[in-house]
């Protein structure tokens, strides 16, 4: 992926230098502002890294814009670490879905809020599931900044214990119902074609993983590690820790629905 690119007149993406199996090419930091306004808000500043800050400053200069606010989709460090430091550095407000990220002087956002900054309006869309505090931001162009709710490649993780599969599925439907023109993801490339189909695939993928877990438990009780080995055999081992989180989150859903029961230690069986 290119380090800095204009996705549309309203949005510039700056790629953070933190690639990994979990962050793909790195965290996508977005600058959003009306063309000619001379202002921009940053969404997901990412890691508190000097090289990344320099790239964002270059992008601001290219836009002939000053930073007027910091927005964050969720509290994970690869998205939020620089939020408070940059807010202090630039003397601008920070807004997020939790007080821990927004800071004492920041704004805690909720679904349905509107953020009017940089000559434009961003609609706040509550998208819990990946994390409890996850938000997306709908732009006036119709595109949606989706954070880690949807990735540009692969699928997202429902973290455990704070993630929630049912909430995640509801959030997929909520984003789908917006009729987005594009999805600007927290990691990986933007998604601009068949966006509704992508969201449908994500829902189908979660249902498939759930079916795989139930199928794996048919012979008898298994531990989470055994289930991950069975269900995620085709997935690189380096992402198995994340797969274990999604597995635990799915088992929690199935347990609440009375389909599985936790046994001794870390073992699970069908109810």
Give the span between the Cα atoms of 172 and 175, in whole angstroms: 5
CA-closest candidate to residue 81, choices 90, 68, 94, 69 = 94
Average pLDDT estimate for 135-145: 99
Burial class (CB in 10 A: 0-12, 13-18, 19+), 173: exposed
Give the span between the Cα atoms of 260 and 247, in whole angstroms: 13
Average pLDDT estimate for 88-105: 98
What total of structural domains would you count in the chain?
Answer: 2
Domain that holds residue 216: 206-266
How sure is the predictor about 60, in pLDDT bands with cuts at 50, 70 and 90?
A: very high
Average pLDDT estimate for 232-252: 94
Range with the poorest average pLDDT among 3-7, 89-93, 219-223:
219-223
- Domain final position from 147, 167, 193: 193
Question: Considering all CA atoms of the chain, what is the largest pairwise distance in Å, rounded to the nearest integer?
Answer: 64
The helix or strand, by DSSP H or E, that contains position 59, with its residue range, turns out to be: helix 50-63
The reply to whether 180 and 222 lie within a common domain is: no
- Residue 2, pLDDT score: 82
The reply to whether 224 and 122 lie within a common domain is: no
How sure is the predictor about 56, in pLDDT bands with cuts at 50, 70 and 90?
A: very high
Q: CB within 8 A of 210, min separation 6: which ones?
A: 165, 250, 253, 254
Does the pLDDT value for residue 1 go beyond 90? no
Does the pLDDT value for residue 184 go beyond 90? yes
On whether the pTM is more than 0.85, the answer is yes
The reply to whether 138 and 60 lie within a common domain is: yes
Average pLDDT estimate for 182-210: 97
Catalytic residues: 78
The reply to whether 97 and 231 lie within a common domain is: no
Does the pLDDT value for residue 265 go beyond 90? no
- Residue 94, pLDDT score: 99
The reply to whether 158 and 36 lie within a common domain is: yes
Does the pLDDT value for residue 221 go beyond 90? no
């Amino acid at each position: 992926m290119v380090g800095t690119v204009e996705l549309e007149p309203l949005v510039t993406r700056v790629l953070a230098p933190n690639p990994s199996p979990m962050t793909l090419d790195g965290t996508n930091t977005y600058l959003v502002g009306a063309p000619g306004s001379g202002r921009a808000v940053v969404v997901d500043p990412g890691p508190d890294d000097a090289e990344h800050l320099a790239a964002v400053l270059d992008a601001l200069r290219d836009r002939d814009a000053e930073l007027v606010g910091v927005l964050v989709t969720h509290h994970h460090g690869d998205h939020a670490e620089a939020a408070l430091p940059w807010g202090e550095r630039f003397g601008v407000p920070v807004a997020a879905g939790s007080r821990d990220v927004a800071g004492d002087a920041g704004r805690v956002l909720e679904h349905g809020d509107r953020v009017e900054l940089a000559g434009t309006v961003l609609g706040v869309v509550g998208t819990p599931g990946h994390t409890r505090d996850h938000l997306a931001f709908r732009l006036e162009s119709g595109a949606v900044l989706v954070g880690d709710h949807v990735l540009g490649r692969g699928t997202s993780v429902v973290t455990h214990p704070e993630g929630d599969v049912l909430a995640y599925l509801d959030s997929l439907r909520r984003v789908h119902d917006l009729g987005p023109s594009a999805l600007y993801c927290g990691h990986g490339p933007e998604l601009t074609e068949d966006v509704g189909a992508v969201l449908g695939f994500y829902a189908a993928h979660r249902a498939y993983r759930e079916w795989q877990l139930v199928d794996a438990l048919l012979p008898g009780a298994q531990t989470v590690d055994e289930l991950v080995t069975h269900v995620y055999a085709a997935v690189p081992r380096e992402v198995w820790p994340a797969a274990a989180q999604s597995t635990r989150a799915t088992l929690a859903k199935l347990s609440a629905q009375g389909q599985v029961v936790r046994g001794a230690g870390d073992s699970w069986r069908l109810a």
